Amino acid sequence: MKIALFGYGGMGKVVRRIAEERGHEIVAVIDPGVDGEGTAVENGDLATADVAIDFSLADGVLSNVRACSDAGVNIVVGTTGWYDKIEEVRKLVEHGGKEIQAAVGFLWSSNFSIGVNLYFKIIDEAAKLMNGFDEYDVWGHEIHHHNKADSPSGTAKTLSKILVDRLERKTAVIDEKLNRRREHGEIHFSSVRGGPVNFAHTIGFDSAADKITITHEARSRDGYALGAVKAAEWLKGKKGFFEMEDFLKDEMA
């Protein structure tokens, strides 16, 4: 499979290594931020790709999707922090770009790690179990490496949504500095940034009698990159707007 990469930071480099280990060819690497040049890292024609993988910056996602839509190239997006533009992206995906009036395939996730996506399901089931036990409060905490651009992460936002959806006694998540007492109905989800390679999330169910904590901690970026490459393999030849759940249903089957 021929792959174009948007973004060539830490994740982009690992995605390239994993993709090449799986026998794929990188035909273009595009990162306007590298060395301040504002140009592609490597010469390459986006239109020759079967699929693009985006781990760039949030403010570039819309233009990257537009470029892929114009070129008729499917795209997998692992960049976070752009979700306020999701309806614009959906329109581009479903109706095509300026030059090619046909849909492309698009798949996004707040986190492409298979382990993290299984973790989402574990937290979902745990929250459903805890819904009937008001004596348990709930909180969340994450730590990411010092180069992480957004806070809270997309993963933290996904976990927050799961908890609010499943726990009837909780109505809001506070993810900035909580410089006051936490109000009834709120969940506090804290974020820390530090160190070169940190990726961990913990959800705590906490009562006066005991505490249950459920943690996912990544050892490297490899799991995130592998999930993105496998998602790109799945997306080849497909058209439409997809989320990680669509890919996982086939994987688990």
The torsion defined by the Cα of 112, 115, 121 and 126, in degrees rounded to 10, comes to -140
Which DSSP symbol is given to 42? B
The three-state secondary structure class of 106 is strand
Are residues 98 and 211 in contact, defined by beta-carbon separation less than 8 angstroms?
no
For the purposes of burial, counting CB atoms within 10 Å of the CB of 55, is it exposed (0-12), middle (13-18) or buried (19 or more)? Answer: buried
Query: What b/e string do you get for 220-249 counting C-beta neighbours within 10 Å, with b at 16 or more?
Result: ebebbbbbbbbbbbbbeebbebbebeebbe
- Angle in degrees, CA 125, 183, 84, rounded to 5: 65
State both tokens at 132: 């009937």
Enumerate the active-site residues: 144, 148
